[in-house]
Amino acid sequence: MQGLIQQVLNALQLGSVYALIALGYTMVYGIITLINFAHGDIFMVSTYVAFFVGTAVISRALHLPGIVVFILTMLATMFATALLAVLIERFAYKPLRQAPRVSAVITALGVGLFLENFTLATIGPDPRFLPKFFPVVTFTWSGVAFSNIQIIIIAVSAVVMLLLDTIVRRTMVGMAMRAVSWDKFTAPLMGVPVDRIISITFALGASIAAIGGMLFGMVYTIDPYMGIRIGWWAFISAVVGGIGNIRGAMLGGFILGFVEIFTPVILPASTYRDFVAFSLLLVLLVFRPYGILGRPVAQKV
Amino acid sequence: MPLLRIRGLTHFFGGLRAVHDFNLDQEPGELIGIIGPNGAGKTTVFNLITGVYRPTEGEIFFNGHNLVGKRPDQIVSLGIARTFQTIRLFKNLSVLDNVRIAHFARTRYEVPAAMFRMPNYLREEAEVRERALELLDLMGLADQAEWVASSLPYGLQRRLEIARALACEPRLLLLDEPAAGMNPGEIAELMELIRWIRQQFDLTIILIEHQMRVVMGICERIKVLDFGETIAEGTPAEIQSNPRVIEAYLGEEAI
User: What ipTM was reported for this prediction?
Assistant: 0.88
Strands B4-13 and B80-82: unpaired
Question: Tens digits of per-residue pLDDT, A176-203?
Answer: 999 999 999 999 999 999 999 999 999 9
More confident residue, B233 or A271: B233
- Domain containing B32 equals 4-254
Name residue A1's amino acid.
M
Q: Provide residues of A within 8 Å CB-CB of chain B.
A: 163, 167, 170-173, 175-176, 178-179, 182-183, 185-194, 200, 203-204
Question: Tens digits of per-residue pLDDT, A107-132?
Answer: 999 999 999 999 999 999 999 999 98
B181 Ramachandran zone, left/alpha/beta (phi>0; psi -120 to 50): left
Instruction: Give the separation between CA B250 and CA A195, rounded to whole angstroms.
Output: 45
| Cross-chain CB nearest to A190 (options B107, B128, B164) | B164
Lowest mean pLDDT among A83-92, A164-173, B77-86: A164-173
Is A42:A24 a contact under the CB 8 Å cutoff?
A: yes
CA of B5, closest CA in chain A: separation in Å? 20
CA of B75, closest CA in chain A: separation in Å? 8
Per-residue model confidence (pLDDT) at position B153? 92
| Cross-chain CB nearest to A176 (options B77, B104, B125) | B104
Strands B80-82 and B172-176: parallel
Largest pairwise CA distance in chain B: 71
Name residue A19's amino acid.
A
- Which of the residues A190, A202, A204, A246 would you substitute to probe the B interface, choosing the one with the greatest number of B C-beta atoms within 10 Å? A190
Instruction: Work out whether the CA dihedral A145, A147, A150, A156 comes out positive or negative.
Output: positive
Is B182:B155 a contact under the CB 8 Å cutoff?
A: yes
| Cross-chain CB nearest to B90 (options A182, A194, A203) | A182
Torsion of the alpha carbons at B37, B40, B44 and B45, rounded to the nearest 10: -90
User: What is the pLDDT of chain A when averaged over all its residues?
Assistant: 91
Give the DSSP per-residue string, chain A.
-HHHHHHHHHHHHHHHHHHHHHHHHHHHHHHH----TTHHHHHHHHHHHHHHHHHHHHHH-TTS-HHHHHHHHHHHHHHHHHHHHHHHIIIIIGGGTTS-HHHHHHHHHHHHHHHHHHHHHHT-S--B-PPPSS---EEEETTEEEEHHHHHHHHHHHHHHHHHHHHHHHSHHHHHHHHHHH-TTHHHHTT--HHHHHHHHHHHHHHHHHHHHHHHHTTS-B-TTHHHHHHHHHHHHHHHH-TT-HHHHHHHHHHHHHHHHHHHHHSS-GGGHHHHHHHHHHHHHHH-TT-SS----PPP-
CA of A4, closest CA in chain B: separation in Å? 36
Strands B31-35 and B221-226: parallel
CATH number of the domain encompassing residue B87: 3.40.50.300
Q: Total domain count for chain B?
A: 1
- Taking the domains of chain A in order of start, what are their residue ranges? 2-238
Instruction: Give the separation between CA B71 and CA B54, rounded to whole angstroms.
Output: 9
Is B75:B52 a contact under the CB 8 Å cutoff?
A: no
Chain B residue numbers with beta carbons less than 8 Å from the beta carbon of A171 are: 114, 121, 125
Instruction: Give the separation between CA A202 and CA A89, rounded to whole angstroms.
Output: 7
Buried/exposed code over A171-201 (b: 16+ C-beta within 10 A; e: otherwise): bbbbbbbbbbbbbbebbbbbbbbbeebbbbb
Question: Tens digits of per-residue pLDDT, A249-265?
Answer: 999 999 999 999 998 88
Name residue A203's amino acid.
A
**Residue B235 exposure: Cα atoms within 13 Å on the Cβ side:** 2
User: What is the pLDDT of chain B when averaged over all its residues?
Assistant: 91
- Closest by Cα among A122, A124, A96 to A110: A96
Lowest mean pLDDT among A164-173, A239-248, B189-198: A164-173
Indicate the angle between helix axes A39-60 and A226-241, nearest 10 degrees: 120
